[in-house]
Amino acid sequence: MFRFLIGTTLVLGLFCTAAVAAPLKLTPAKPQPSSVKSGLNVTYGYSETKFKTLSRARQIHDANPQRGQPLRGLDYREKEFGELNLTATQPWYFAARIKGYYRFDAPGVYDIEMFTNDGLDAYIGGQKVGYFSGIQGCEGTVVTQVEAPVAGWYDLSILYYQNAGTSCLMMKAGPAGQKRSWVANTAFGR
């Protein structure tokens, strides 16, 4: 009986591990947009003081959101201290809500990694693909494996914030288990 329980526990453990590791199933945008402009829409909320969490970033953004110039995509490599980031009008103490679409050119399973300095809460096709609440240099989030059931556009929604100092916001993606590459701005639309 003891061996049976050990064996059953081992099988259940392996099954649960496999279930946790399954790719997140994305939902394509419905309906698929008929015409998409390049770039991503963004609104900003500004603060006069430091903040260090996503919950505070949401409060700052939602208190007085201001439309910003569209982003070209998610290729905002590390900026030096005091340089403007994204299309914000001040170099730090801001929260950005980014919305638009991300295009998968083929169905399949993909690995996605977001790079952020500072905080980020990112979703594609209804699934969380990047998260960090705190202050950090330009670092990657946990790699997230997703499944795109069809080629096409998927809703993208990101809350990002920049506290102070240097900044970045970028994305890498690639077929599961293969090398991830920086995502070209042409993969994003609004």
Specify the 3-state DSSP secondary structure of 37.
coil
Fold for 24-189, please state it. Answer: Jelly Rolls (2.60.120)
pTM for the predicted model, two decimal places: 0.87
Per-residue pLDDT, 66: 98
| Own/partner pairs, 17-23, CB within 8 angstroms, 24+ separation | 21/145, 23/109, 23/145, 23/146, 23/147, 23/176
In tens digits, the chain (190 residues) has pLDDT values of 545 444 444 444 444 444 457 999 999 999 999 999 999 999 999 999 999 999 999 999 999 999 999 999 999 998 888 889 999 999 999 999 999 999 999 999 999 999 999 999 999 999 999 999 999 999 999 999 999 999 999 999 999 999 988 899 999 999 999 999 999 999 999 9
Residue 60 dihedral angles phi and psi, to the nearest 5°: -65, -45
| pLDDT for res 116 | 96
Domain boundaries, the chain: 24-189
